[in-house]
Structure 1
Amino acid sequence: MRKLKDARRPEILDATLEIVTERGLDALSMRSVAQRLGLTPMALYGYFRSKEELLDALLGRLLEEVTPPPEGSDWRAAMLHLSYEMRAVARRHPTVLPLVLTRPGVSPGTLRLIDQVYRALLSAGVPRAEIPRLERTLSTFVIGHVLSEVSGRFSVGSLDPAARRAQLPPAELPGHQALAAELDAPVDWEAEFRANAEDLLSLVERRITG
């Protein structure tokens, strides 16, 4: 396998991020990045063998913005820190967030982040055989929650909860009717994110205690 060049990789990734931020992932191509930098598309292949490799590197670049937990953090504090850091990165780069769901974790930046989760779970005493699965569960929760936040899935939309229920007879929505007061109340998304994260970490504790 031919050796790739390194000198302009950071510049190329910056240009890639600019394009995705401005125009979305669908607008990204090796040609669009090359044009942004005043290069030929063939010149980019000296740095990245394919668009897929470029996307993996872009994801890794974003995840490098996640700061590690403070020294001396216990496993639970470390996991909450990483969850909030990941959420902050996703909010800063919402157009790039779908990459987290569609690209495998192969870049150095991605591997470093996952390793921090592994270390936290190891220090918690989670059985080693359970750690890869729990890492996937925890990361999928964070990604899914933030994607729902930034994409508008959690927004009121064109109908508030009461108007949504009014579209059908009450007898067809008994669960909605029973929860009407709760559904109509405003949601504190910060509190909900933390509560959900805490609930998941409580599941991790169950794996520790058996």
Structure 2
Amino acid sequence: MRKIKTTRRAEIVDAALALAADRGLEALSMRAVAASMGVTPMALYGYYRGKDDLLDAVATRLLTLLPEPDPGLPGLDRLRAFAHGVRGLAGEYPAVFTLLFTRPASSGEAVRLADRLYQALLDAEVPEAAAARLERLLTTFVFGFAVSEVSGRFDGGTRNMWARRGQLGPGELPAHHRLGRLLDPPVDWAAEFEADLDDVLHAVTTATHPAIPTQVVDDSWSLGD
């Protein structure tokens, strides 16, 4: 097996992150990163086996950019700070952030982050048997909201709601027509994030359900799996 070099790995992954942040993930390739660094593509293969390997490294690099809450804060405050950090990171790197929702969360940095979340949950007096499930609940909400926000999914879903609803009558879209006055106004996404986060953290603090049996397949996004 070819020995992978290490001396310039950080420089390469930072170049890849900068390129993807500027031009989008679709522009990221070994050739493009090499060109941005002024080296030949073959020079990168001594450090990364290919594009997939480099994408995993970029995802890990993003995780290192998450601010780490003060470990002296109460558990719930650390969970809230984590959520704000994720949303802030998504806003800073909107073109790249989706990597954290699509790449396997198996790096050492991902496992360390999951451990910090587990500890915050335990410090919030969450039952040990529910900690893994609640970590999945929290991270699925936080990363899913952030991805939806920066990808334009929320804006696309509310744009011209009245016009789209008007194409079908109340008989076909009864709930839409009943809620129309509430669906049409613009949404303050920052306020909605805070309200949703409050609901999720309330669910965390009132958790009483035991852990789901391990044989049940859970396909939600999780840092800890």
- Asked if Structure 1 and Structure 2 have the same fold, meaning a TM-score greater than 0.5 normalized by the shorter chain, the answer is yes
1:194 aligns with 2:191: no
The residue aligned with 2:177 is 177
Contact 1:125 1:208 in 2 (8 A): no
C-alpha distance in 1 between matches for 2:122 and 2:200: 16
1:69 aligns with 2:69: yes
Task: Note the 1:48-63 alignment, pairs <5 A.
Answer: 48-63=48-63
Per the TM alignment, residue 209 of structure 1 is displaced from its structure 2 partner at its CA by 8.4
Higher helix share: 1
Alpha-carbon distance change, 159 to 122 in structure 1, aligned in 2, over 3 angstroms: closer
Task: Note the 1:129-144 alignment, pairs <5 A.
Answer: 129-144=129-144
C-alpha distance in 2 between matches for 1:209 and 1:100: 28
Alpha-carbon distance change, 145 to 159 in structure 1, aligned in 2, over 3 angstroms: closer
C-alpha distance in 2 between matches for 1:42 and 1:194: 47
Most deviating of 131-140 and 56-65:
131-140
**Partner amino acid, structure 1, of 2:195:** A
3-state secondary structure, aligned to 1:155: helix
Task: Note the 1:30-179 alignment, pairs <5 A.
Answer: 30-155=30-155, 159-179=159-179
Contact 1:124 1:208 in 2 (8 A): no
Identity value in percent: 49
Count residues in correspondence.
210
**Partner amino acid, structure 2, of 1:207:** A
Most deviating of 117-126 and 188-197:
117-126
Per the TM alignment, residue 189 of structure 1 is displaced from its structure 2 partner at its CA by 1.0
Unaligned runs of at least 5 residues, structure 1 = none
Alpha-carbon distance change, 121 to 208 in structure 1, aligned in 2, over 3 angstroms: farther
The residue aligned with 1:24 is 24
CA RMSD across the alignment: 2.2
**Partner amino acid, structure 2, of 1:75:** G
Alpha-carbon distance change, 54 to 72 in structure 1, aligned in 2, over 3 angstroms: same
Most deviating of 196-205 and 126-135:
126-135
Per the TM alignment, residue 23 of structure 1 is displaced from its structure 2 partner at its CA by 2.4
Contact 1:63 1:110 in 2 (8 A): yes
3-state secondary structure, aligned to 1:49: coil
Contact 1:68 1:116 in 2 (8 A): no
**Partner amino acid, structure 1, of 2:144:** G
C-alpha distance in 2 between matches for 1:152 and 1:200: 23
C-alpha distance in 2 between matches for 1:133 and 1:208: 11
Contact 1:66 1:113 in 2 (8 A): no
**Partner amino acid, structure 1, of 2:74:** D
C-alpha distance in 1 between matches for 2:106 and 2:156: 37
Alpha-carbon distance change, 74 to 209 in structure 1, aligned in 2, over 3 angstroms: farther
Most deviating of 73-82 and 4-13:
4-13
Task: Return the TM-score normalized by structure 2.
Answer: 0.84
